[in-house]
A = this chain, B = another copy of it.
Amino acid sequence: MDGVTTAAKRPRRSQEERTLETRGKLIAATLDVLLEEGYLKLATQRICDAAGVSRGAMLHHFRDKQSLIVAAIDELLVSATAEIRSQADRVRAQEITPEEFVDYLWFEHFSGRLFYLTLEHVTAARTDDEIRAALIPVVRRFHLALDEIWGALFSAAALPRSRVATVLNLTLCLLRGMGVQTVLRPDDPAYYDDLRGVWKIMLRAILDGRVRLETTGRS
């Protein structure tokens, strides 16, 4: 295995390329292992095994375990934002209905990977000041991006522009709550279909103007 053989097998990569590749592997592996093992059992050796990278290399690129996790969550939310935006564009173009968008959000994000990863990092953040401080800006960017997406989503005359984001955020809260429940209420898809069905009826009533949202006194 001399220099000639090595050069023939693999072109010389710049430091930047090497860095991007290693970081990318670590971030992807972190999300996979976090989903599979949970935060409680998330060991750096396990991540590195999955990434095919040493712990020394991991620590070269990320100050500590927590820094790696925060970077991974950031990447997760950036990706999710792009995917949601893409589907939202289809709602606006009237290729899919708002009801179908709700189904998309449920089946593609909130009853699986995105939400379970959210559950893990949110729960860890609740009792750890450092994690929480690191994640609040990350999540705030996600919320702002969603609000921007929601603002451009609907043009229903019956729904004031200022209410659009509220309704969509309420939709997301419903789906998060359902996501929480899936953990200890599995094998009951009818229950979740039922909830979602009722929600769609409510959403349709709002979009059609049968329920008005202007006056939201604090009551």
Instruction: A41 to B124: give the CA distance in the assembly, Å.
Output: 10
Neighbouring B residues of A172 by C-beta, 8 Å: 177
How big is the A interface, by class?
35 or more
Q: Which residues of B contact A183 (CB under 8 A)?
A: 122-123, 125-126, 132
Shortest beta-carbon distance, A187 to chain B, in Å? 10
Residues from chain B with Cβ under 8 Å of A127 in the complex: 36-38, 40-41
A52 within 8 A of B: no
Question: A181: which B residues are within 8 A, CB to CB?
Answer: 173, 176
- The quantity of this chain's copies bound in the complex is 2
Asked if A211 meets B213 with Cβ closer than 8 Å, knowing A38-B124, A166-B195, the reply is no
A150 within 8 A of B: no
With a cutoff of 8 Å between Cβ atoms, the chain B residues found around residue A177 in the complex are: 172-180
Report the minimum CB–CB distance from A183 to chain B (whole Å).
Answer: 5
5 tightest Cβ-Cβ pairs between the two chains A and B? A173-B177, A176-B177, A38-B127, A177-B177, A197-B216
- A sample of 4 more A-B contacts (CB under 8 A), given A170-B199, A201-B212, is A40-B123, A119-B123, A193-B218, A201-B211
Q: Which residues of A approach B to under 8 Å, CB–CB?
A: 36-41, 99, 116, 118-120, 122-128, 132, 135-136, 139-140, 143, 163, 166-167, 169-170, 172-181, 183-186, 191, 193-195, 197-202, 205-206, 210-213, 215-219
